[in-house]
Chain A
């Protein structure tokens, strides 16, 4: 049996147990998000998918749909909050798109484009973060990490390897590699692991594959993120 709620005035049907995000995605309506992937358990971390339900704000990736809900998403008020979140992500890391091999396939960048984010105006942190190139097939550029924790989840829940973890609190939170040396080479991570496919930005990168797709033919060159279904990074 299918029930309905309204999303920005549009009637959306859902089945029992579906979240607002799932029902909206099935109906072809895009809600901006960074830490949500359909095949992993939603955890409501990034807050980009925040919507207003009957006047109260909540993460649409974790909220179950209920009949008769009135949901607002694509409003100036909510989009301006989303731009503020994106803004903070950009200044807290070192996001230099022109030098990044994921540029054009990056969800952070594409989401910022979707929201019409022109440029950061806050002071940049310019944090000092390291790069780990120890693994033969994968390298890690922590400069671009947005702490979505999708790799942590994929490695733990899908690969059964527990390669990644988040360490520290608040602004000191960071992505770490779970090996004695802290190096990726000293884990059993393989390039075929789910954890190597889920990074929405340019942290987990496959060696010897950079800049293969010319500018103009990358995923979000062709279509805005709102028109590209969620796919693992490998297929993007």
Chain B
């Protein structure tokens, strides 16, 4: 029989239609990051600049909602390759600030941003094929893929992220008590 090898869990992270505030908050776990690195290694993430998600990722952490075609592609790639997918922060689970555009038709938004807004020269709506196409509406990520857990907050505090991840790594159902469970 093979001897079980203590393998570090692979963690991939991404920021979609978010502000990187949740990633910044993740770094707020400060020196506990070193402890965390005894148990995990980062795969694709803004922290590593790895461009593809490994097919055997254990945990995917997604910040931000889905507002364009590239977000959908990236999100599906994470879901496909990660055993557990976690939504981090309000944008990921309810769309948050970006969903304010959902009350206007997309052409009206683009028109105002590039043509009719005050102080604009007579510009063009960008149409470079390199640019991902915006979706008609902004969506929380659970409307596109199955999400296993969420860490609420805008952003969740470093302490909340630490509590959540250490619960998860220890095999406990993650639980955030008073003060750590926050939607703002």
Query: Interface residues, chain A, CB within 8 Å of chain B?
Result: 90, 94-100, 103-104, 109, 112-113, 116, 118-121, 123-124, 126, 128, 215, 221, 223-224
**Of listed A113, A119, A120, residue having the most chain B CB within 10 A:** A119
CB distance from A105 to the nearest CB of B (A): 11
Does B152 lie at the interface of the complex (its beta carbon under 8 Å from any beta carbon of A)? yes
- B residues contacting the other copy or chain, number (CB 8 A): 28
| B102: nearest chain-A partner, CB-CB | A126
Please pick, from A103, A121, A123, A224, the residue contacting B184 in the complex, using a CB distance under 8 A: A103
Does B64 lie at the interface of the complex (its beta carbon under 8 Å from any beta carbon of A)? no
- Whole-angstrom CA separation of A119 from B103 in the bound complex: 22
Instruction: Give the 3 A-B residue pairs with the shortest CB-CB distance, closest first.
Output: A98-B154, A97-B183, A119-B150
| A123: nearest chain-B partner, CB-CB | B143
In the complex, what residues of B have CB within 8 A of residue A128's CB?
Answer: 103
Does B4 lie at the interface of the complex (its beta carbon under 8 Å from any beta carbon of A)? no
Q: Is the CB of A113 within 8 A of B178?
A: yes
Q: Is the CB of A97 within 8 A of B93?
A: no
Please pick, from B87, B154, B183, the residue contacting A109 in the complex, using a CB distance under 8 A: B183
CB distance from B20 to the nearest CB of A (A): 15
Could you name 29 residue pairs across A and B whose Cβ atoms are closer than 8 Å? A90-B94, A94-B99, A96-B94, A96-B96, A96-B99, A96-B100, A97-B183, A98-B90, A98-B96, A98-B97, A98-B183, A98-B184, A103-B183, A103-B184, A112-B183, A113-B178, A118-B176, A118-B181, A119-B93, A119-B94, A119-B150, A120-B93, A120-B142, A121-B147, A124-B99, A124-B140, A126-B99, A126-B102, A126-B137
| A218: nearest chain-B partner, CB-CB | B184
In the complex, what residues of B have CB within 8 A of residue A97's CB?
Answer: 90, 154, 183-184
Given contacts A118-B176, A120-B140, A124-B99, 7 further A-B contacts (CB under 8 A): A90-B94, A104-B184, A116-B175, A118-B152, A119-B87, A123-B143, A126-B95
In the complex, what residues of A have CB within 8 A of residue B99's CB?
Answer: 94, 96, 124, 126
- Whole-angstrom CA separation of A121 from B139 in the bound complex: 12
Does B179 lie at the interface of the complex (its beta carbon under 8 Å from any beta carbon of A)? yes
**Of listed B103, B137, B143, B184, residue having the most chain A CB within 10 A:** B184
In the complex, what residues of B have CB within 8 A of residue A215's CB?
Answer: 184
In the complex, what residues of A have CB within 8 A of residue B149's CB?
Answer: 118
- Whole-angstrom CA separation of A90 from B93 in the bound complex: 11
- Whole-angstrom CA separation of A33 from B68 in the bound complex: 39
In the complex, what residues of A have CB within 8 A of residue B184's CB?
Answer: 97-98, 100, 103-104, 215
In residues 137-179 of chain B, which contact A (Cβ within 8 Å)? 137, 140, 142-143, 147, 149-150, 152, 154, 175-176, 178-179
- Whole-angstrom CA separation of A235 from B183 in the bound complex: 22
- Whole-angstrom CA separation of A225 from B168 in the bound complex: 27
CB distance from B19 to the nearest CB of A (A): 11
- Whole-angstrom CA separation of A224 from B182 in the bound complex: 12
In the complex, what residues of B have CB within 8 A of residue A112's CB?
Answer: 183
In the complex, what residues of B have CB within 8 A of residue A223's CB?
Answer: 178
Please pick, from B90, B152, B178, the residue contacting A224 in the complex, using a CB distance under 8 A: B178
Q: Is the CB of B97 within 8 A of A96?
A: yes
